[in-house]
Amino acid sequence: MVVLDMSIVNVALPDMQRALGFSPTGLSWVLNAYSLAFGGLLLLGARTGDLIGRRPTFLAGITVFTLASFAGGFAVDGTALIASRAVQGIGAAFAAPATLSLLTTMFPEGRERTRALGLYTAVSVGGVSFGLVAGGFLTEVASWRWVMLVNVPIGILVAAIAWVAVPHTPRRHGRFDLVGAVTSTTGVSGVVFGFVHAASHGWGSPVTLTTMLGGLALLIAFVLVERRAAEPITPLSLFASRVRSGALLARMFLIAGAMGAFFYLTQYLQDVLGFSPIQAGLAFLPMTASVFIASQSSSRYLVERFGERPVMIVGAVLSLASILWLTQLDIASGYADVVVALVLLGFGNGLAFVPLTSSALHAVRPDEAGAAAGLVNVAQQLGSALGLAGLVTVSGHASRSLDLAPGLDAVQRAHETFLSGAHAAFQAASVTLVVTLLLVTLVIRREQHAEVEPEAEEAYELAA
């Protein structure tokens, strides 16, 4: 459900915009609200499962997620939909880490656990593809509201199965790092809101400046809190490793660039090429297949044969080539032009993700394995949210600055305005991928993975 909901909404975005009157900037918050709540509370969700038990944490997360989906299906305006998406993210932040923890406790280490985690990974990859197709089908046959409501019967079924089949896990003594969770979540939210607000109101807006500076202040407070916390939600010692810090940053920038392509291509396919929602969903299948093929090749053959760093570099180069290709799209382009970029992006991301994950989780201590695994997911969520917010800011500025030629009809003007913003966003995305390439080339130097400590492998399983 959690993975499905990351993609099922994308194809329905144009219909949501028309039905609820979203501005282009406001529309991005349908995705940002979920990503921010999910990423910001993910570490607290993992800590909750350790303290009160993974079964009740999982059930609570699924219940909140399902109720929020029901509310979102009946949203009467954009504010209500964004609020329901944020609550979905809260539920997902508690359900997702509990799921991974349950896999490690229900299946003994060895072949059974490996198979379980392999199935989990396959479902995750398949969920992205299924979400795109299901989102298109539901939007075209029924309504955009069903991309939210479809979670209700699924959530009820999952909760019922978990109630019967999932064993109880013992509680642990310890305290919640509530101050750390609050300062990190509100700090990141403030910075991202400042980016999005600047797209429509400018960088000189008092609201933009206040939220940006307030967010940065809260993030500084978060670091100070974590330095003194007896049981920090995020041990700062995890950032002492150059390899780990570089891998987390590279993952964040890679996701930021890919998210821009995903967001604007969904609208390009429907608004410029005239694809139906279900056609737009099916159009992304070549990228999904490429991700699956590349990630399996990376994990089984390429990393072992060539080492992690070369595979990461090739992945970053292919991803950058994909975004640069997208900067050439125009009104006369067709799906054949789009699919080249999708395949390049799929192979690039698929090659890079596996070694980036293993580098981020290399040689962590046993008591920090869960936190390190959580940081991988947080980096991905923050990259998605911050990347989208930044690219929408760039796109909005480019669209407002466009000087259209006289004589264009309303449709042509709309297409030219959209393409101007999309091109600017793709150019900005290419910068994030250049940063990714520099990080994997200059910062992440570890070539061998042969001497990974047992706890590092445990962390890798938690993030698989």
Listed residues 157, 174, 191: the one ending a domain: 174
Nearest to 433 by CA among 284, 211, 260, 274: 260
Listed residues 216, 231, 246: the one ending a domain: 231
Instruction: Check whether residue 167 and residue 185 sit in a common domain.
Output: no
Nearest to 241 by CA among 368, 351, 352: 368
Number of domains in the chain: 3
**Distance between CA atoms of residues 290 and 120, nearest Å:** 18
Instruction: Check whether residue 289 and residue 338 sit in a common domain.
Output: yes
Residues 6+ apart with CB under 8 A from 231: 174, 175, 177
Listed residues 193, 213, 231: the one ending a domain: 231
Instruction: Check whether residue 428 and residue 377 sit in a common domain.
Output: yes
pLDDT at residue 302, as a whole number = 81
**Distance between CA atoms of residues 438 and 410, nearest Å:** 43
User: What is 234-267 written as a DSSP string?
Assistant: S-GGGGG-HHHHHHHHHHHHHHHHHHHHHHHHHH
Instruction: Check whether residue 130 and residue 238 sit in a common domain.
Output: no
Instruction: Check whether residue 186 and residue 153 sit in a common domain.
Output: no
Give the helix ranges, DSSP H, for 202-241: 206-228
Amino acid letter, 347: F
- CB 433 within 8 Å of CB 253: yes
Instruction: Check whether residue 103 and residue 59 sit in a common domain.
Output: yes
Instruction: Check whether residue 193 and residue 299 sit in a common domain.
Output: no
pLDDT at residue 288, as a whole number = 81
Instruction: Check whether residue 3 and residue 131 sit in a common domain.
Output: yes
Residues 6+ apart with CB under 8 A from 332: none
**Distance between CA atoms of residues 400 and 160, nearest Å:** 51
Instruction: Check whether residue 208 and residue 321 sit in a common domain.
Output: no
Note the pLDDT tens digit of each residue in 86-138: 999 999 988 877 775 666 556 654 445 434 544 554 466 556 667 777 888 88
pLDDT tens for the chain, residues 1 to 464: 777 777 788 778 888 988 998 887 678 788 878 877 887 787 778 777 777 777 888 899 999 999 999 999 999 999 999 999 999 999 998 887 777 566 655 665 444 543 454 455 446 655 666 777 788 888 888 889 999 999 999 999 999 998 988 777 666 666 777 888 888 878 877 887 777 677 567 677 898 889 889 989 998 998 898 888 877 877 888 888 888 899 999 999 998 888 777 778 888 888 888 888 788 878 888 888 888 888 777 777 787 788 888 989 999 999 999 999 999 888 888 999 999 999 999 899 888 887 887 787 777 665 566 677 677 777 877 787 778 778 887 877 777 666 665 666 667 777 778 888 888 889 999 999 999 999 999 888 754 443 444 444 444 444 44
C-alpha pair distances (Å), 82 with each of 17, 73, 96: 12, 11, 21
The domain that holds 424 is classified in CATH as 1.20.1250.20
Instruction: Check whether residue 283 and residue 384 sit in a common domain.
Output: yes
Q: Which domain holds residue 332?
A: 234-464
How many residues in the chain? 464
Nearest to 40 by CA among 86, 102, 79: 86
pLDDT at residue 366, as a whole number = 54
pLDDT at residue 109, as a whole number = 45
Based on the number of CB atoms within 10 Å of its own CB, is 230 exposed (0-12), middle (13-18) or buried (19 or more)?
exposed
pLDDT at residue 126, as a whole number = 56
Note the pLDDT tens digit of each residue in 159-169: 999 898 877 76
Instruction: Check whether residue 218 and residue 288 sit in a common domain.
Output: no
Instruction: Check whether residue 165 and residue 138 sit in a common domain.
Output: yes
**Distance between CA atoms of residues 359 and 367, nearest Å:** 18
